[in-house]
Chain A
Amino acid sequence: MTSRSEFLAGARDIAPMLIGTMPFGFVAGVAAISAGMSALEGMALSMFSFSGIAQLIVSQLIAANSPLIVTIAAAFVVSLRFVMYSAAMSPHLAHLDRRWRAALSFLMTDQSFALTVKHYGEAGDKSQRHWHFLGSALTLYVSWQAAVLIGIILGTNVPAAWSLDFAVVLSFIAILVPVVRTRANLAAALVAAAIALAAAGLPYRLALVVASIAGIAAGLGAEALHRRA
């Protein structure tokens, strides 16, 4: 396939996922305004970080007047999954120059990662598949910023009865459920959930950090038990 047809195929393949990401982007825009950020600050956060989960965490922590270091630490923890994605993508992109690799790193999300890994797994000529990655990631970037902008413009005028913030939890459930099909991942999720509830009283949303570490330890423990059995 040519670079152009790969790029267009990437844009086409990501399209169904936009039905899930655009309401999420809208919620992220509303959350930034609700947290007291200006429209410019909310848009800058979205354009430079391009991560729904990180944007929501930052909005919540800014609203709660958390110290800068805690805000950055929380964003670090919720973004650790990108290290795993980065590890999985790196062999496919190793032949590209630094500019390409930096651009694709910046644009990588849960959705474009999942799509690209699947595409690289298919048979055929792989030399132009980074254009497929770029096509899907750039389509997601543009549509995401549009959705965030609409959320920022409408801001606090969205009726609370729509419960659009629940769309965020639902979009996490959509990613979580397929992951917990193995026993060790299920253990990680259940322990993390329990600790998150038990430690909810901790300040600065530290419960998220503590619960994540406990969940990861539980996953490793379950894996070790399973291996010994």
Chain B
Amino acid sequence: MSTWLAIAGVSIVVFLLRASFILFADPHGFPPLFRRALAYVPAAVLAAIVAPGLLMPAGAIDVSLANPRWIAGLVAIAAAALLRHPLGALCVGLPALWLLQWTIG
């Protein structure tokens, strides 16, 4: 039951955020500081998801060779920056992780 409530609640919240300006708001109505803050949402949220995913896959910070994910992550970041293609990180990062797992494991 609570799973269905979570599905309903999350779906409604996500829709309302997507529709916020398109459907409801006057784009000029928000305070300037709020509008400037919105510009940093993608960088902050994505970095807050990526950093633990690379550096603490098992729940504690691990920058040793036993954790191949931070190395594969650095390779993927370099690939994304140099190739400037949306698939660069995926097409280089995942094989890099497999190679590291195979070499170390």
Which residues 53-105 of B sit at the A interface, judged by CB distance below 8 A?
53-56, 59, 61, 69, 72-73, 76-77, 80-81, 84, 86-90, 93-94, 97-98, 101
A200 at the A/B interface (Cβ < 8 Å)?
A: yes
Which chain B residues lie closer than 8 Å to A171 at the CB level? 89-90
Least CB distance, A144 to chain B, in whole angstroms: 14
Which chain A residues lie closer than 8 Å to B14 at the CB level? 49-51, 54, 75, 79, 82
For the complex, give the distance between the alpha carbons of A76 and B89 in Å.
Answer: 26
When A170-B76, A193-B51 are in contact, do A81 and B42 touch as well, CB less than 8 Å?
yes
Would you call B47 and A170 a contact (CB within 8 A)? no
Selected contact of B93 from candidates A61, A173, A212, CB within 8 Å: A173
Would you call A192 and B10 a contact (CB within 8 A)? no
- Of A102, A169, A191, A219, the most chain B CB neighbours within 10 A belong to A169
For the complex, give the distance between the alpha carbons of A103 and B105 in Å.
Answer: 48
Which chain B residues lie closer than 8 Å to A190 at the CB level? 47
What is the size, in residues, of chain B's interface with A at 8 Å between Cβ atoms?
Answer: 65
B27 at the A/B interface (Cβ < 8 Å)?
A: yes
SS class, residues of chain A in contact with chain B: helix
For the complex, give the distance between the alpha carbons of A172 and B43 in Å.
Answer: 10
When A176-B47, A177-B77 are in contact, do A20 and B87 touch as well, CB less than 8 Å?
yes
User: Total contacts A to B, CB within 8 angstroms?
Assistant: 258
For the complex, give the distance between the alpha carbons of A101 and B20 in Å.
Answer: 11
A68 at the A/B interface (Cβ < 8 Å)?
A: yes
When A20-B86, A87-B38, A184-B40 are in contact, do A196 and B52 touch as well, CB less than 8 Å?
yes
Selected contact of A188 from candidates B9, B43, B77, CB within 8 Å: B43
Complex A-B, nearest 4 residue pairs according to Cβ-Cβ distance, in ascending order: A215-B44, A219-B40, A193-B51, A48-B11
Chain A residues at the B interface, C-beta cutoff of 8 Å: 16-17, 19-20, 23, 37, 41, 44-45, 48-51, 53-54, 58, 61-62, 68, 71-72, 75-87, 89-91, 93, 98, 101-102, 104-106, 108, 161, 163, 166-180, 184-186, 188-197, 200, 207-208, 211-216, 218-220, 223
Pull 22 A–B residue pairs with CB atoms less than 8 Å apart, ordered by A. Answer: A20-B87, A23-B90, A58-B6, A76-B17, A82-B17, A101-B19, A105-B22, A166-B69, A167-B90, A167-B94, A169-B73, A171-B90, A173-B80, A175-B46, A188-B47, A189-B43, A190-B47, A191-B44, A193-B47, A196-B51, A196-B52, A212-B44
